[in-house]
Structure 1
Amino acid sequence: MPKEIRLNVLEQGNPSFQAFGLWAHPRDKAVDYLKLDYWLNYARLAERGLFDNFFMADVYGMPDVYQGKADGALRNGSQAPSLDPSVIVTAMSTVTTNLCFTMTGSASYESPYSFARRISTMDHLMNGRLGWNIVTSYLRSGALAMGRTGLAEHDLRYEMADEFLEGVYRLWEGSWAEGALKKDKEARVYADPDLIDTVDFRGEYHSFQAIAPVEPSPQRTPVLFQAGGSERGRRFAATHAEGVYLNGTKPELVAAQVARVRAAAEAEGRNPQSIKFFTGISVFVDETEELAKARYADYKRYSSFEGLISMMSGAMGIDLSKYPLDEPIVYQKNDANQSALEMFTRNNAWTLRQVLDEKALCGTNVAFIGSAEQVADEMIRWMDEADIDGFNIARIVAHETLENFIDMVVPELQKRGRYKTAYQPGTFREKLFGHRRIDSDHLAGSFSR
């Protein structure tokens, strides 16, 4: 039986994300991104479209590799400035019932205790609709902003994150036993201390001694996502991720990544089919292919090459201002985002002219342009050929492009039996996997009480 397509909104709390410069389009509403109603209306719209998840990307620091400064990013609102996603998604959850939310959170700059407390609080307030996109932070400017002397080496960041994850798992899963929370007014016992343990954690990078500061939330551990595409990132995903975000220019490239993560998960003793995979797309849809192409052309007039290259330089760790337009971008090993670096160097020898022509409106995503029928065809082809479970739909013009997708493409997918017509009840994990607690073969499950 064909898999049902799952959909996530892909967003970040800044003026331009993926489609850089489009905040200046006359119909774009992103200039209001500092206003609460902008986000509340966004959440209502996504729930109207029966989206599974509103995924908020995030980054510490600003893209400052291009020309050695952040001017290009700031001038174009290119992933800068950037709001705190934890505040945004908590607010959005108050006007929705079924839409789930994933916030990006770094495992590099915070204590496991304070992070675990915030996540548990959010999962309670959202009635179990929270996910966490685990990142290790790739910008040197972010490391400096967080008080470090420089960016830690790429693979070392994953080693540090492994330890961080064990710390939060022990707090979420191992401190409060099932049944410890009593709320017994007659006996005047809120919690049974005999069923609550202190976590004494001693690691190389983190050490703490604490009882989990918040009683277990509906999911205990939020649904765990990860987006690293490097070899070390894949091993990290195989250990920790319940969902993986992947990018690739062709279905076969994404399918190869999916296969590698599944194989690594199986080697870790996990069920390789228990991980969901999503790839990023930017959709330009209209009544006909001609109108969709005209829409794309209209949007492209507002795209910012400087904004795009500022973001790409930061992600790849390469100052692309030094490259002539027609010279292939060369792989240069560094400690930045290896997924972006390999996508534009090792997978294909991209030039800046090609980037400008093909990626001005979709960044690291793939662009789907056409009628609702054509977009649905392409989505289904990618689902079947890439062995993925769904898509991250990026903002282009807020909120016009999401409205168009919901009004045109969603009914077409429903007509073909590939998209739900109603939400399933439950927590985020129950909606995705059919159960509330994390799998017993997951590392976090080994600490469950």
Structure 2
Amino acid sequence: MSFKLHFFAYVPFCYLRFIFLLFFLDLLVYTSSNRMEGKSSYSPLSLEYYDSPNAPERVRVRDRVMISEGEHTSLQCSADGNPTPTLAWTRDIHTHNRTARTLASGLGVVTLEVHQAVWADTGVYLCHAKNVVATVPPVTTKLIVKQPVTGVMGMSGGRGSWAALGTSGRLLCRMRAAPKPTFVWTTHDGTKLHNSEKYVIHAPQLVDGLVLWSSILEVRHVERRDYATYRCTAHNGLGSHSTTVALSPPSRPHPPVNFTVFNVTAVSVSLAWTPNFDGGMPRGYTVKYRQKGSSEYQLVQISGGNTAGTTLSGLTPGADYLYTIQARNEQGASAYVSPPALVTMLGVGAKAGSQAGGAGQSRVPRLMLLILTLTGAALLVLNVAIIACFVRRRSVNRSASARKCNHGFGLAGQCINAQDKGANMSTLCCSLQGVY
């Protein structure tokens, strides 16, 4: 009975140790994963119960808010959910050159205050909602600060389009304004243009959904006299702005811009560029390159006027190369980009070392997980061995106790058989019996 009580008292203790072991391993994996991700802080564990939890829903914001410069406004966002969702306002980084930092936050309701509004506050704002159940996609609202008409960078006078004789030419004019501007097109001598068989003025379009507007003048059945400069004027209640746009005959394209090298290996190089539509429409490109110290050029023809990159292979490891590019169309070719780009190819050893380093970094998380798994398995085997040793020891002790009892019963029997041999022998045997 004593063995059973001790054993069953020990087993729950072993189970508790095993549970503690699993908790320790889970904490170790969690800590290691946080360190791999660059986190160094530890968060306390908290358990909360929610009746019928659900994700945030019915996130409510105003779709569009327009205010005057210098005014104050509030952007409010609210949402339902169980538990009550956490809300936060951020600004769309794709419409403004800023980081997506939190501007305001709250529980269930959040209000973003805008004081002394300026033109730069115009943009798309996002309300984010989340709770322990889920994070829902953000809901957007557009804040527009009224502003007079201003020109757009890159749309100044002199830039235009081209068209062949007998075809149609399209001239584009872009302006920033709020509220919506009115566009007027005139010829170089001031004659106002209206919709007709010759000219079509397309309705203004809101390009970015905020303040960027565009107007297109289409010139049909182009004749030589139509190759001229046209004036685009836009105005709203706050001001006006004008720019000139030229319609030209087909011409050679301009050289591409932003010619760069973005990937270099031992035997290949990747090139990138931006098509240039200021001149004639490009139909393809020619990449010219040579090894430094050599006068022999290699030419690579690339089709497609919208193509913006290519990769050259079969190069010499460790060598220096000079690369340049030109655009071409039916009217001819542009000048080559100058100066050419000088690139040193990687050596074979440098490439191999780079690949080996990357592979070593990718193996680090797997090695860590393998070590944690083996450690957990070793601790589990150790606990099983301790339980087995305890059971064996109790079994050995029980067998030894049984042998002592059997030996004691044998001596007692001898005492009983020897009682008739005298009082002294009887006393001695009884003493031995008392000992056992």
TM-score normalized by the length of structure 1: 0.19
Q: Which has the higher helix share?
A: 1
* Larger Rg over CA atoms: 2
Structure with higher RCO (Cα < 8 A, 6+ apart): 1
TM-score normalized by the length of structure 2: 0.19
